Chains A and B, each alone.
Chain A
Amino acid sequence: MAIYMNVYLLLFLPLTLLVYGVAPREKRWLVLLCASWFMYATLSRWLLLLLIATEAWTWGMGLWLDRLRQQCEAQVGELKQSGISGAELRTARTECRQRFRTRRLRVLLLGILVLLGILFYVQYYNFAAQNLNSLLSRLSLKLPVVKVLFPMGISFYTLEAVGYLADIYWERLEADRHFGRLALFLSFFPQIMEGPIARYQDTADQLFSGEPLRMDSLNEGFLRILVGLFKKMVISDRLSYLVNPMFAEYQKYHGSLVVLMAVAYTVQLYCEFSGSIDIVIGSGRLFGIELPENFRQPFSAQSPAEFWRRWHMSLGTWFKNYVFYPVTTSSFVKNLNKTLRKKYKKHGKYISMAATSAAALLPVWLATGIWHGAGWQYVFYGLYYFVILLAGVLLESFKAWRNQRLHIPENAVWLRVLRTLKTWVIVFIGELFFNAKSLLAGFHMFFSIFEDFHISDIWLHLPPKITRGEIMVIIAGSILVWIAGFMKENGKDIRKGVLEAGFPVRWAAYYVLIFTILLFGAYGAGYQAVDLIYAGF
């Protein structure tokens, strides 16, 4: 059962809500955990055991890390009482801490390696095997290609578990002694398929506390779910009838049609992903839980870097905290920084900034790319943004200089519009490669944009399912979503307005939304249930 399915929305969610409301407060976390595991079992059957095993592993490793910290503190405390003093005590203390740090680091690495090992095995083993086989073919070595069962949501809960262990290692967090609380944090049912990737600090206590149902959070959650359903059922599911056949037969299209494919897929992905996240966050809200946001009007971004601070934010935050910062504070990058500064006196700052940026960005974007899937197109996708973001960093000072010389005001409207459009183009091209069947297909599509470009082609040659009516709804729906985002960006949150209005207005808004979804949703005869794009990652 997936979160957009009627089984979830009409049966599972209301039923869980009911049981949750009736259950005594101290048992409510158990209701949520059972519901989460049950839902997981409907998605991945016996792989639920793998999820529970992962949770147990994370729980145990966390406790181990914590125990080592306590032992370290105890030993340091003993040193204090042992009577040695001054510099001697200080060295002894440092030495003791150092010893434990190495041990804790080993435990952390073990914990993380097992978690990532499982992820890599199910997600990347076959990809690696196939690529290695073509390399090794001369040596007549062959790795077997195996059929791996894919545990739903593994890319999401693995990152959460790794973050949890790292935070304990960094002493930002005490390990959770209660297995149930940690398990619930890692498997909360709305999040399990598509995130958002939460930090333990953000959600674990809320999930566990069993807050009573409240009218205001029910309202917020309900409206949020409706908004998500609108984006998914009216726009994204409908667009899949344009996007899927065109990408499947990409060789047939060129020029303006490929541009259409890139734009249409980007809109589809946004509506699908952010719509699902709306359903996820709304579901959490019904129970009074505040999950982290994943999108903040990404299409208002002024630069690709800003786009990524507004798009799939929980993934960006994760990579920043657990890849980018550790890399930038690693001795390798620090030494690089210092050496370069000393070596190049005049431009030292600029050069060292460029070098450290590159050194820190490369792993982040390589990992972001392959996190999405096993395929060279995803590697390319990551490197594409690596190059663009690095260029952005390097050109920063040039741009400031240019704007000053040409007296271009930083916030001129035309400049903002231009920057937004430039960002859009970069995003569209990125998504074209992202959704390509292979890297080769991506390049084929990209270069065929420049063959035979005729705007009028767009209206001919569309897949047969995409009729005039469908196109009208897609365009109208997308404009509505864009306007709502634009208004929110400018401080007018429509959703908040509806929630603050009196109940007749609010009810009217609900009914209008529900009927719009029921009437224009791409469901029932003529449409099929469309799978989630992001659930496969």
Chain B
Amino acid sequence: MDRLLEILREIDDTVDYEKETALIDDHILDSFGIITLIAEIEDAFDIEVEAAEMTPENFNSAQAMWRMIQRLQES
């Protein structure tokens, strides 16, 4: 989780990721932020994020992203 927050802060350090729950819906993370983010988390957690995962629900909060990462690591 800390590693994820670190990655997120690297993309934009003005956001409070532990509280924010509408990163996508409020356009805090834009499409390009997401591209960078995916590249980073794929590297960091050795997972593959596929198109099927690209939903607002998976990226709206750091918590949700963490859940997705764990799920992908398991399978």
Do A and B touch directly, given a CB cutoff of 8 Å in the complex?
A: yes
- Residue from B31, B38, B51 within 8 A of A326 (CB atoms): B51
Residues on A with beta carbons closer than 8 Å to the beta carbon of B51: 170, 325-326, 329-330
Q: Are A329 and B32 in contact (CB under 8 A)?
A: no
Residues on B with beta carbons closer than 8 Å to the beta carbon of A171: 52
Residues on A with beta carbons closer than 8 Å to the beta carbon of B39: 334, 337-338, 341, 352, 356
Given the known interface contacts A341-B39, A352-B39, A357-B32, the answer about A309 and B54 at a Cβ–Cβ threshold of 8 Å is no
Residue of A nearest to B33 (CB): A353
Chain B interface size, as a band, is 10 to 19
- Residue from A172, A309, A328, A349 within 8 A of B52 (CB atoms): A172
**A34 interface residue (CB < 8 Å to B):** no
Residues on A with beta carbons closer than 8 Å to the beta carbon of B49: 329
Q: Are B32 and A353 in contact (CB under 8 A)?
A: yes
Given the known interface contacts A170-B52, A172-B55, the answer about A328 and B35 at a Cβ–Cβ threshold of 8 Å is yes
Residues on A with beta carbons closer than 8 Å to the beta carbon of B3: none
**B42 interface residue (CB < 8 Å to A):** yes
Q: How many residues of A contact B (CB 8 A)?
A: 26
A-B interface pairs (CB < 8 A), number? 47
Write the nearest CB–CB distance from B28 to chain A, whole angstroms: 13
**B50 interface residue (CB < 8 Å to A):** yes
Q: Are B43 and A338 in contact (CB under 8 A)?
A: yes
**B34 interface residue (CB < 8 Å to A):** yes
**B71 interface residue (CB < 8 Å to A):** no
**B73 interface residue (CB < 8 Å to A):** no
Given the known interface contacts A172-B55, A326-B51, A329-B50, the answer about A353 and B36 at a Cβ–Cβ threshold of 8 Å is yes
Restricting to A320-376, which residues have a CB under 8 Å from any CB of B?
320-321, 324-326, 328-330, 333-334, 337-338, 341, 349, 352-353, 356-357, 360
Q: Are A357 and B52 in contact (CB under 8 A)?
A: no
Given the known interface contacts A309-B27, A329-B49, A338-B43, the answer about A353 and B35 at a Cβ–Cβ threshold of 8 Å is yes
Q: Are A337 and B35 in contact (CB under 8 A)?
A: yes
Q: Report the Cα distance A330→B43, complex, angstroms.
A: 15
Residue of A nearest to B57 (CB): A172
Q: Report the Cα distance A191→B2, complex, angstroms.
A: 46
**A393 interface residue (CB < 8 Å to B):** yes
- Residue from A321, A341, A353 within 8 A of B54 (CB atoms): A321
Q: Are B31 and A329 in contact (CB under 8 A)?
A: no
Select the residue from A169, A337, A393 with max chain B CB neighbours within 10 A: A337
Residues on A with beta carbons closer than 8 Å to the beta carbon of B53: 329
Residues on A with beta carbons closer than 8 Å to the beta carbon of B55: 172
Write the nearest CB–CB distance from A201 to chain B, whole angstroms: 10
Q: Are A349 and B36 in contact (CB under 8 A)?
A: yes
Q: Report the Cα distance A321→B51, complex, angstroms.
A: 9
Residues on B with beta carbons closer than 8 Å to the beta carbon of A330: 51
Q: Report the Cα distance A42→B44, complex, angstroms.
A: 57
Residues on B with beta carbons closer than 8 Å to the beta carbon of A357: 32, 35
Given the known interface contacts A334-B42, A337-B39, the answer about A393 and B54 at a Cβ–Cβ threshold of 8 Å is no
- Residue from A324, A334, A352 within 8 A of B31 (CB atoms): A324
Write the nearest CB–CB distance from B34 to chain A, whole angstroms: 7
Select the residue from B34, B42, B54, B55 with max chain A CB neighbours within 10 A: B54
Residues on B with beta carbons closer than 8 Å to the beta carbon of A321: 54
Write out, one digit per residue, whether chain B residues 5-27 have a CB within 8 A of any chain A CB (1) or not (0): 00000000000000000000001
Residues on B with beta carbons closer than 8 Å to the beta carbon of A170: 51-52
Residues on A with beta carbons closer than 8 Å to the beta carbon of B34: 328
Q: Report the Cα distance A390→B39, complex, angstroms.
A: 19
Q: Are A393 and B50 in contact (CB under 8 A)?
A: no
Residues on A with beta carbons closer than 8 Å to the beta carbon of B31: 320, 324, 328, 360
Q: Report the Cα distance A326→B35, complex, angstroms.
A: 11
Q: Report the Cα distance A171→B50, complex, angstroms.
A: 12
Residues on B with beta carbons closer than 8 Å to the beta carbon of A349: 36
List 14 additional A-B contacts (Cβ < 8 Å) besides A325-B54, A328-B34.
Answer: A169-B52, A170-B51, A172-B52, A305-B30, A309-B27, A324-B31, A328-B35, A329-B49, A329-B51, A334-B42, A338-B39, A352-B39, A357-B35, A393-B32
Contact sample, A vs B, 12 pairs, CB 8 Å cutoff: A320-B31, A326-B54, A328-B31, A329-B49, A329-B51, A329-B54, A334-B38, A334-B39, A341-B39, A356-B35, A357-B35, A393-B32
6 tightest CB-CB pairs across the interface, nearest first?
A: A170-B52, A325-B54, A326-B51, A329-B51, A337-B39, A328-B35
Q: Which residues of B contact A (CB under 8 A)?
A: 27, 30-32, 34-36, 38-39, 42-43, 49-55
